[in-house]
């Protein structure tokens, strides 16, 4: 007699705002099968996972049969693509600059306290989590407040908890988001170990470097689950034939040849030094790649450039030709900059429509609070069309799939044709075609003279225009070098 399938889904139907997402979807997962669920952004992958773990309602049957003979928890755990944390009062309404304001950072738990609470809640032994912390290079973050963590560090915390719990069924949405190359490799080893111990895996991603225990591949196409031979065969039909709007073809007007200059910059939180003796000069028109392991100080460095860090004034820092603290406001600085980062996405006003979100880029706000003049309105319309967002322009940002939300914020970033474009992991949540499309756009924008600082861990997902690289290690500049990604790619 054959054993029951672990997961049996029959005729699953889900609509979102009257639009079909899943249509008569069927899926059977047998014991020993570890699946990759890939495909286009917005095809319904995350929705399907949420239905499986009862976080979302749908019509149809979902049966999960846990192994009664296994010592692992009889649980199906879903690890979301983003980590949602709260302050000590149980509230999650943080604002962007708050993560750099050390006094307010004491509002949230430390990593250690969060793990202690999680261990007690799930009757886990603390000794068992230490090898996982070491493998993901996360042991040194024990005393860090949750609000101080970057997106890659938050992803690590999610993964540590999931791997520590070892549920019978583990579904991870975008497992590699924000992780450096070493952490990705170590994560794959950990996943293989847990699989060997009886954890069945479903990874939602389009990544090529996967654990060897992954043996089945599928995508969602027209609301149905389609099994494919490998992740490389997943279809994506993103239209990248549109012409860049004319207003983005103009070269930015630079007030100074030096956009960013740091002289022996140091940043500390108490006894913890995050940046040490940083010297960096970014000149007009240069295209920089900023890299370093998770926790190397990249986010803090960018917060200085963007005017968000309160310790800017205690350092010798020049932005757009003016010494920081010489009378300029934070809004004067932001007028020169277009920024996208995972952290900024977390704190963005999700109750704005797509159109309003893009338009707010003119005023550096997290929502649109004033009427746009005709010329600016036309530019928003052109960018909505260029990014293929016309059908969604009046929808709330929060109702869109993660990949489309990211495209909206990318459009917001470039709407004012800024002198300096800061793109921190801009392609998180985008599928392969969207990533390629966006990086082609970056190359085109930068050919018109825009200055670029780009943070990216995946060498295969970078624009080819990058020409210089700053590598950080433990808060110090490890190397500065010229690169040519056109040759590398």
What is the phi/psi pair of residue 36, to 5°? -110, 125
Domains 7-233 and 246-488 agree in fold: yes
* Distance, CA of 12 to CA of 33 (rounded, Å): 21
Residue 414 · residue 340 · CB < 8 Å = no
pLDDT at residue number 367: 65
Whole-number Cα distances in Å, 379 to 411, 416, 452:
11, 9, 22
Q: Which residues are paired to 482 by β-bridges?
A: 468
pLDDT, one tens digit per residue, over 61-84 is 999 999 999 999 999 999 998 766
The stretches in the chain having pLDDT less than 50 are 1, 87-105, 236-237, 488-489
Q: Which residues are paired to 422 by β-bridges?
A: 339, 453
Neighbour tally for 17: CB within 10 Å:
8
pLDDT, one tens digit per residue, over 270-293 is 778 889 999 999 999 999 999 998
Residue 111 · residue 160 · CB < 8 Å = no
Length of the chain, in residues? 489
* Distance, CA of 96 to CA of 343 (rounded, Å): 7
Chain CA centroid to CA 436, Å: 16
Q: Note the pTM of the prediction, 2 decimals.
A: 0.76
Domain 7-233 is found in CATH 3.30.450.20: no
Kindly report the CATH class assigned to 246-488: alpha beta
Residue with tokens 């990248």: 240
* Distance, CA of 474 to CA of 320 (rounded, Å): 27
Sorted by where each begins, the domain ranges of the chain are 7-233, 246-488
Of 379, 381, 378, 359, whose CA–CA distance to 370 is shortest?
359
């Amino acid at each position: 007699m054959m054993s029951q399938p672990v997961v049996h889904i029959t005729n699953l139907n889900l609509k979102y705002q009257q639009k079909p997402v899943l249509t008569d979807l069927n899926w059977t997962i047998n014991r020993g099968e570890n699946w990759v669920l890939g495909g286009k952004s917005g095809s319904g992958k995350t929705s399907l996972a949420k239905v499986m773990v009862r976080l979302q309602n749908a019509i149809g049957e979902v049966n999960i049969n846990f192994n009664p003979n296994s010592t692992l928890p009889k649980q199906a755990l879903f690890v979301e693509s983003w980590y949602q944390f709260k302050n000590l009062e149980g509230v999650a309404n943080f604002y962007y600059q708050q993560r750099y304001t050390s006094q307010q950072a004491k509002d949230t738990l430390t990593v250690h306290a969060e793990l202690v609470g999680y261990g007690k809640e799930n009757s886990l032994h603390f000794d068992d989590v230490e090898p996982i912390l070491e493998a993901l290079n996360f042991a040194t973050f024990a005393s860090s407040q949750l609000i101080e963590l970057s997106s890659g560090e938050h992803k690590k915390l999610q993964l540590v908890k999931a791997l520590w719990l070892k549920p019978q069924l583990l579904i991870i949405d975008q497992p590699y988001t924000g992780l450096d190359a070493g952490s990705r490799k170590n994560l794959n080893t950990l996943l293989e170990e847990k699989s060997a111990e009886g954890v069945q895996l479903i990874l939602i991603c389009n990544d090529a470097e996967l654990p060897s225990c992954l043996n089945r591949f599928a995508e969602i196409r027209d609301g149905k689950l389609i099994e494919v031979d490998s992740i490389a065969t997943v279809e994506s039909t993103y239209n990248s034939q549109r012409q860049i709007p004319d207003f983005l073809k103009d070269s930015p007007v630079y007030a100074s040849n030096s956009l960013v200059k740091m002289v022996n910059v140091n940043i500390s939180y108490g006894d913890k030094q995050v940046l040490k003796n940083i010297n960096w000069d970014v000149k007009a028109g240069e295209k920089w790649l900023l890299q370093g392991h998770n926790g190397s100080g990249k986010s803090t460095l960018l917060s200085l450039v963007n005017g968000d860090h309160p310790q800017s004034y205690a350092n010798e820092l020049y932005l757009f030709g003016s010494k920081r603290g010489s009378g300029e406001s934070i809004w004067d600085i932001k007028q020169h900059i277009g920024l996208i980062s995972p952290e900024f996405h977390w704190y963005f006003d999700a109750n704005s429509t797509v159109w309003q979100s893009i338009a707010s880029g003119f005023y550096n706000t997290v929502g649109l609070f004033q009427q746009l003049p005709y010329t600016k309105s036309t530019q928003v319309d052109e960018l909505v069309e260029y990014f293929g967002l016309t059908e969604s322009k009046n929808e709330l940002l929060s109702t869109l799939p993660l990949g489309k939300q990211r495209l909206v914020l990318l459009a917001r970033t470039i709407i004012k044709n800024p002198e300096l474009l800061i793109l921190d992991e801009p392609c998180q949540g985008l599928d392969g075609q969207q990533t390629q499309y966006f990086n082609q756009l970056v190359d085109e924008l930068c050919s018109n003279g825009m200055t670029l600082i780009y943070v990216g861990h995946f060498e295969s997902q970078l624009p080819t225009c990058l020409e210089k690289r700053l590598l950080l290690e433990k808060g110090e500049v490890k190397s500065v070098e010229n690169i040519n990604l056109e040759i590398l790619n």
